[in-house]
Amino acid sequence: MSNSVVTNKGKEKLWILTAQCPSRLGTVDVVTRTLAETENYIVAMNSFDDRATESFCIRVEFRPLSGDTSLQRFRDLFAERTPQFEMNWELTEPGHKTRVAVMVSKYDHCLNDLLYRYRTGELAIDIPVIISNHPDLKHLADWHGIPYHHLPITPDTKAEQEAEVWKLINEYDCELVILARYMQVLSSDLSKKLDGWAINIHHSLLPGFKGAKPYHQAWDKGVKLVGATAHYVNDDLDEGPIITQGVQAVDHNHYPEDLVAKGQDIESQTLARAIRYHTEKRVFLHGNRTVVFSD
């Protein structure tokens, strides 16, 4: 009997091995040789050696030919061989769903799109909690049976509100935080706590337009491109390591409301792609840059 697992869409679910280490001779060999010797069949593999940081990363999808026996033999042997490479590695089991806390304000386009992809199983995530500084989108959470925590915020209550946010993230045992158009600047303290495991989405207009109604500002200047950027949160506002970007050409036929609609659509798609890359272990952080093995 085959050990493979197939989804309703016919896609085989595979184990994923990810590893990072300094650039060393033999890094690819120790991965592939150990998998082969322990009867684990490689289905897909990506690797990259970064000359700028002298670091190496690899992602492998594989199928154990002898089930748990192959896996345990691999774990034991790989653990013996990797210390000489200073290699940090992780195994992700088939069907793993990342527990996600979604933070949102009043704009619903990213949340709607995310909930649809969650409901249909397009994204391998569980959403145990939605957190908002406004009550407006509670009906969406209620329809999906997800707890919705309304935590209003003012400049005077920011520290207390963020303490409650952090408490909820831990209480629901979340592995990833998604800022699905959460229109608040996170404090330095919370940003540092979420560094590398929170994803934000924002518009990307060229030239840059900040402040209120950026799409209207762009229209006033005759903008020709609209887009969006999904990135990891860090202590630099909207300047964390970039995961994905989306862009679309526009012209004089597009009025401000058209730019807003196109921009929101690109934001939703770009955020979803970033979440998928993260949950499928396709993203490796190299300082303030990312290596992304897109499919």
Asked if residues 273 and 233 have their Cβ atoms less than 8 Å apart, the reply is no
Q: Which of 126, 238, 258, 265 is catalytic?
A: 238
Sign, CA torsion 13/19/24/30: negative
* Helices of type H across 57-199: 68-81, 109-119, 138-144, 158-171, 188-194
The CA–CA distances, whole Å, from 108 to 117, 134, 138, 277 equal 14, 12, 11, 22
Distance CA 230, CA 62 (A): 28
How are beta strands 176-179 and 198-203 bridged, if at all?
parallel
Catalytic (active site) residue 126 = no
Question: Nearest Cα to 130, choosing from 114, 148, 109, 143?
Answer: 148
Asked if residues 203 and 216 have their Cβ atoms less than 8 Å apart, the reply is no
Asked if residues 229 and 209 have their Cβ atoms less than 8 Å apart, the reply is no
> Long-range contacts: 41-47, Cβ < 8 Å, 24+?
41/65, 43/12, 43/14, 44/14, 46/282, 46/293
Tokens of 206: 């060229």
HSE (side-chain half, CA atoms, 13 Å) at 119: 12
Active site residues: 238
